[in-house]
Amino acid sequence: MLSAIGVSSLDDLFADIPATVRATRFEVPPPLTEQEVRAELARLADRNALPRISFLGAGAYRHLVPSVVGEVIGRSEFSTSYTPYQPEVSQGTLQSIYEFQSLICELTGMEVATASHYDGATATAEAALMACRLTRRDRIAISSAVNPQVRRVVETYCSGPGIEVVVVPADLAAGGSGLTGPDVAGGILDAGFACLVAQQPNFFGGIEPMRELAEAAHAVGAQFVAVVEPTSLALLQAPGEYGADIVAAEGQPLGIPLSYGGPYVGLMAARMESVRQMPGRLVGATSDAKGRRGYVLTLQAREQHIRREKAASNICTNQALCALAAATYLTAVGPAGLREVAELSVTQARHLAAAIEAAGLGERRFSAAYFAEVAIQLPDAARRHAELARQGIVGGYLIERDYPELRDTLLLAATELTRDEEIDAFVAALRATR
Amino acid sequence: MLPDDLRYSREHEWVRVDGLQATIGITGFAADELGDIVFVELPEVGSRLTQFATFGVVESVKAVSDLYSPISGVVSEVNQALRESPELLNSDPFAAGWIARVAMADVAELDALLDSRSYAELTAG
Nearest CA in chain A to B38: A299
Residues 55-74 of B with CB under 8 A from A: 59, 64, 66
Q: Which helix (H) or strand (E) holds A266?
A: strand A266-270
Query: Distance from A22 to chain B by nearest Cα, in Å?
Result: 40
Mean pLDDT rounded to a whole number for chain B: 92
For residue A83, the model assigns a pLDDT of 85
Test mutation, A307, A308, A309, A316, chain B, max B CBs within 10 A: A307
Q: Which residues of A fall within a CB distance of 8 Å from B64?
A: 301, 306-307
Residues of A with CB under 8 A from a CB of B: 276, 301, 306-307, 310
Q: Which residues of B fall within a CB distance of 8 Å from A310?
A: 66
Asked whether the predicted pLDDT for residue A48 surpasses 90, the reply is no
Q: Among A60, A54, A58, which Cα is nearest to A266's?
A: A60
Asked whether the predicted pLDDT for residue A342 surpasses 90, the reply is yes
Any A CB within 8 A of B45 CB: no
Helices (H), A21-144: 34-45, 67-73, 76-79, 91-108, 120-135
Query: Distance from B57 to chain A by nearest Cα, in Å?
Result: 10
Interface touch A307/B64, C-beta < 8 Å: yes
Interface touch A276/B39, C-beta < 8 Å: yes
Are the C-beta atoms of residues A429 and A392 closer than 8 Å to each other? Answer: no
Query: Distance from A309 to chain B by nearest Cα, in Å?
Result: 12
Identify the CATH number of the domain defined by range A53-63+334-432. Answer: 3.90.1150.10
Hey, CA dihedral for A343, A256, A418, A121, is it positive or negative?
negative
Query: Distance from B23 to chain A by nearest Cα, in Å?
Result: 26
For residue A11, the model assigns a pLDDT of 87
Whether residue B84 is contained in a domain is answered as yes
Domain encompassing residue B61? 7-104
Count Cβ atoms below 10 Å from residue B49 Cβ, excluding itself.
Answer: 26
A282-307 residue pLDDT tens:
999 999 899 999 999 988 767 777 77
Nearest CA in chain B to A301: B64
Query: Distance from A190 to chain B by nearest Cα, in Å?
Result: 22
Nearest CA in chain A to B40: A276
Interface touch B66/A310, C-beta < 8 Å: yes
A159 three-state secondary structure? helix
Query: Distance from B66 to chain A by nearest Cα, in Å?
Result: 10
Whether residue B2 is contained in a domain is answered as no
Q: Which residues of A fall within a CB distance of 8 Å from B59?
A: 301
Q: Please, where in chain A does CATH 3.90.1150.10 lie?
A: 53-63+334-432
Name A403's Cβ contacts closer than 8 Å, sequence gap at least 6: A148, A172
For residue A316, the model assigns a pLDDT of 75
C-alpha dist (Å) from residue A340 to A250, A260, A354, B114 = 20, 26, 21, 71
Query: Distance from A306 to chain B by nearest Cα, in Å?
Result: 8
Q: For residue B27, what pLDDT band results from cuts at 50, 70 and 90?
A: very high
Any A CB within 8 A of B107 CB: no
Mean pLDDT rounded to a whole number for chain A: 95
What CATH number corresponds to the domain at position B53?
2.40.50.100
Lowest mean pLDDT among A8-12, A149-153, A227-231: A8-12
Any A CB within 8 A of B95 CB: no
Test mutation, B41, B44, B45, B59, chain A, max A CBs within 10 A: B59
In angstroms, rounded to a whole number, what is the distance separating the alpha carbons of residues B66 and A434?
Answer: 68
Q: Which residues of B fall within a CB distance of 8 Å from A306?
A: 64
pLDDT mean over A29-58? 95
For residue B62, the model assigns a pLDDT of 76
For residue B1, the model assigns a pLDDT of 66
Q: Which residues of B fall within a CB distance of 8 Å from A307?
A: 64
Whether residue B92 is contained in a domain is answered as yes
In angstroms, rounded to a whole number, what is the distance separating the alpha carbons of residues A231 and A208?
Answer: 16
Nearest CA in chain B to A304: B64
Whether residue B118 is contained in a domain is answered as no
Interface touch B64/A301, C-beta < 8 Å: yes
Query: Distance from A318 to chain B by nearest Cα, in Å?
Result: 22
Interface touch A306/B64, C-beta < 8 Å: yes
Say if residue A201 is preceded by a cis peptide, omega within 30 of 0: yes
Asked whether the predicted pLDDT for residue B64 surpasses 90, the reply is no
Whether residue B99 is contained in a domain is answered as yes
A60-85 residue pLDDT tens:
999 999 999 999 999 999 999 888 88
pLDDT mean over A168-182? 95
For residue A239, the model assigns a pLDDT of 98
For residue A312, the model assigns a pLDDT of 75
In this predicted complex, what is the ipTM? 0.71
In angstroms, rounded to a whole number, what is the distance separating the alpha carbons of residues A102 and A106?
Answer: 6
A143-154 residue pLDDT tens:
999 999 999 999
Whether residue B97 is contained in a domain is answered as yes
Q: For residue A142, what pLDDT band results from cuts at 50, 70 and 90?
A: very high
For residue A174, the model assigns a pLDDT of 83
B66-87 residue pLDDT tens:
999 999 999 999 999 999 999 9
Helices (H), chain B: 28-34, 81-84, 88-91, 116-124
pLDDT mean over B34-53? 93
Identify the CATH number of the domain defined by range A67-328. Answer: 3.40.640.10
Whether residue B110 is contained in a domain is answered as no
Provide the b/e sequence for A230-265 (b: ≥16 CB within 10 Å): bbbbbebebbbebbbbbbbbbbbbbbbeeeeeeebb
The count of domains in chain B is 1
